[in-house]
Chains A and B, each alone.
Chain A
Amino acid sequence: EVELVQSGAEVKKPGESLKISCKGAGYNFNNFWIGWVRQMPGKGLEWMGIIYPDDSDTRYSPSFQGHVTISADKSITTAYLHWSSLKASDTAIYYCSRLVGTTTVDPFHIWGQGTMVTVSS
C-alpha cells in the first residue's frame, strides 16, 4: 500500500527550530515529487513547495521561500520540512503529499495524515 506517514503534533515557542517528517512507503520514493501544504486554523490550503528525492531538486512558492527548508533523505524514504526560527503565524496543520506523476505540475495524490504545529509563548 502506498502511504505517507507524518510525525506527530508539535508545540513550540517562538524562535525555536523545528523539523517535521514524512515517511513514504509502498512506492519508489526516489522518483516521485513530494510536497508540503499548509492549512492555517480555519483557512484554506497553501502550496509551499516540492522536492524530488532522487536529486533533491526543490521548488518553493515565493510565499515560503526563505522561511522554510524542504529536504529529503532517500536512504530512509523520508521528506522533511524545517524552520530555523518559528513564529506564532506558523501555527497550522502541515500536510505532505506525493504528486501523482513525475512532473512538477502534477496534482497531489497520496496525502499524509497531517502534522499540527502550534507555536505559542
Chain B
Amino acid sequence: QPVLTQPPSVSGAPGQRVTISCTGSSSNIGARYDVHWYQQLPGTAPKLLIYINNKRPSGVPDRFSGSKSGTSASLVITGLQAEDEADYYCQSYDSSLSGSGVFGGGTKLTVL
C-alpha cells in the first residue's frame, strides 16, 4: 500500500475545477518534507508539475496549483482541458523509511 493516499480517480468537464488530495502522516507530509506533484500522460514518462508544495516549473500553466497543510496536500487544476487527462502522483519523503522517497498511489483524471 502506498504511504501517501490519493483518490483513485477524479473527473470534471472542460472548464471546470478539480482537486486531487494527497494524505500522509506525521512522518512524511506532516514532518518537514515538501510535496511534489507529477503528471503522467498515457505511455510517457512522468513530468514534474508542482514542486516544493506550490511552485511551478517553467512551462507549467498557472491553471495548476498546489498547497500543503498539516499531513495533507492538494493539487488544484482550474479551467480543465482535454489534454489534462492523465495520471497524477504526489511525492514526498518519509523519516520512518530512512528518509527515502514515497509516492502516492496515483489519481486518474478523466475530462468528461
> Which A positions have Cβ atoms within 8 angstroms of B?
35, 37, 44-47, 49-50, 59-62, 95, 97, 100, 104-109, 111-114
Nearest 4 interchain pairs by C-beta: A47-B101, A107-B36, A44-B106, A111-B45
Contact of A35 among B45, B101, B105, B106 (CB under 8 A): B101
* Tally of chain B residues near chain A (CB < 8 A): 27
Tell yes or no: B46 within 8 A of A by CB.
yes
In the assembled complex, the Cα of A37 lies from the Cα of B57 at a distance in Å of 20
Q: Given that A104-B99, A107-B36, A107-B51 are contacting pairs, would A45 and B45 also be in contact in the complex, using a CB cutoff of 8 Å?
A: no
B89, B101, B102 pick with most chain A CB within 10 angstroms: B101
A59 touches B104 (CB 8 A): no
Inter-chain contacts of A106 with B (CB < 8 A): 51
Inter-chain contacts of B48 with A (CB < 8 A): 100, 107-109
A45 touches B100 (CB 8 A): no
A44, A62, A95, A97 pick with most chain B CB within 10 angstroms: A44
Q: Given that A45-B38, A95-B46, A111-B45 are contacting pairs, would A59 and B100 also be in contact in the complex, using a CB cutoff of 8 Å?
A: yes
In the assembled complex, the Cα of A32 lies from the Cα of B33 at a distance in Å of 19
Tell yes or no: B21 within 8 A of A by CB.
no
Chain A residue at minimum C-beta to C-beta distance from B6? A44
Q: Can you list 17 contacts pairing A with B, beta carbon distance less than 8 Å?
A: A35-B101, A37-B103, A44-B89, A44-B103, A44-B106, A47-B103, A59-B100, A61-B97, A61-B100, A62-B97, A104-B93, A105-B101, A107-B36, A107-B52, A108-B36, A108-B38, A111-B45
Inter-chain contacts of B97 with A (CB < 8 A): 61-62
A44 touches B104 (CB 8 A): yes
Chain A residue at minimum C-beta to C-beta distance from B51? A107
Chain A residue at minimum C-beta to C-beta distance from B87? A44
In the assembled complex, the Cα of A35 lies from the Cα of B99 at a distance in Å of 14
User: Smallest CB–CB gap between B109 and chain A, Å?
Assistant: 14
A45 touches B103 (CB 8 A): yes
Inter-chain contacts of A49 with B (CB < 8 A): 100
Inter-chain contacts of B85 with A (CB < 8 A): none
In the assembled complex, the Cα of A95 lies from the Cα of B36 at a distance in Å of 17
